[in-house]
Amino acid sequence: MRTLHNLFVVAILLLVTLCSACTGKPIHGVIITGQNNHNWPVSHKAIKLILENSGQFKMDVAVSPASGEDMSGFDVDFSEYDFVFLDYNGDPWPEKMNSAFLDFVKNGGGVVVYHAADNAFTGWEEYNQIIALGGWGGRDEKSGPYVYWKDGGLFRDETPGSGGSHGARHEYIMNRRVSSHPIVEGLPEHWKHASDELYDRMRGPGDIKDLLYTAYSPIDKGGSGREEPLVFTVEYGKGRIFHTMLGHCGETLEDNQAMQCAGFQELLIRGAEWCATGEVKRKVPADFPTETSVSLRPDYKQP
């Protein structure tokens, strides 16, 4: 009887443990979107699918008024969220929202800067510190130096010229530049990314904390001929920022190779987890791309 009683107690404790794990609170984030020179009606849906299909996140979506419309009522209560996901490149936010966003980051809120979000808000000094590097929108030498990988480190190039360009979309090799950061721990040193834009000639304050991945922008594709920083972290106050320039959105969720890339998706999930919590608990998936082979997840689900 004592043995049966002990087994019963163990079973109850195991059940309680499993139930606690199942009801663990997800990381709560908000995607800010609604204006972009890219296809935001598709990109924000892909982002939401990628993050929520991981089982780690609950994502809300804040859609701004259309370009040129009254922005005065656009507001996000950042205090509700563990991190903010920026899929926005458009009209200025109301000053109240700007201040609330900066307070959120300074006080430890996480931020994911995705693709063309680094084209936004050229004249907003603090925003450019948060993203570290940006392009287009009239950026030039007044915005900061070009920053790229050269001779084994980041090089700051003060040459005058416009900021932001890219060549034709193509598959390219991602080159890891740090091995110990939680976001990239266990990931390959080199892997092939699906066909995508490769941002180059980016300018800004350039205060990159952890350079995670670079890629070579080939001249024969219309690129810079430089090894460009594409995935990195930034510190602003107590906040953690994860910036990825990858992921040009296609016409539809089905025609969307850059965002279907398993490497892009894993970095997005890991980067979001890290900027919200300061750690990454995910294991490296079996379908992560290799140096010679692209890997796609057309359904935006992880194995």
Number of domains in the chain: 1
Whether the per-residue pLDDT at 6 is higher than 60: the answer is: no
CATH number at residue 124: 3.40.50.880
Identify the residue with better confidence: 285 or 20.
285
pLDDT value of residue 303: 86
Domain assignment of residue 303, yes or no: no
Q: Rounded CA gap, 72 and 65, in Å?
A: 9
3 belongs to a structural domain = no
The dihedrals phi and psi of 254, each to the nearest 5 degrees, come to -80, -35
* Residue 55 covered by a domain: yes
Residue with the two structure tokens 């980041």: 154
pLDDT classification of 295: cutoffs 50, 70, 90: very high
Q: Does 194 have pLDDT greater than 80?
A: yes
Does residue 288 fall inside a structural domain? no
The pLDDT confidence band at residue 24, using thresholds 50, 70 and 90, is confident
User: Can you give the pTM of this predicted structure?
Assistant: 0.91
Q: What is the mean pLDDT of the chain?
A: 93
Q: Are the CB atoms for 61 and 43 separated by under 8 Å?
A: no
Q: What is the 3-state secondary structure (H, E, C) of 125-143?
A: HHHHHHHCCECCCCCCHHH
Question: Has residue 27 got a pLDDT over 70?
Answer: yes
Q: Is residue 10 part of a domain?
A: no
Residue 227: pLDDT band with limits 50, 70, 90: very high
Q: Is the pLDDT of residue 105 over 50?
A: yes
pLDDT score recorded for residue 268: 98
Whether 12 shows a pLDDT value over 60: the answer reads no
Range of the domain at 206: 29-277
Task: Give the pLDDT score at 149.
Answer: 98
37 φ, ψ (degrees, to nearest 5): -80, -5
What is the C-alpha separation between 132 and 280, in angstroms, rounded? Answer: 23
Q: Which two tokens stand for residue 183?
A: 């976001």
What's the pLDDT at 102?
Answer: 98
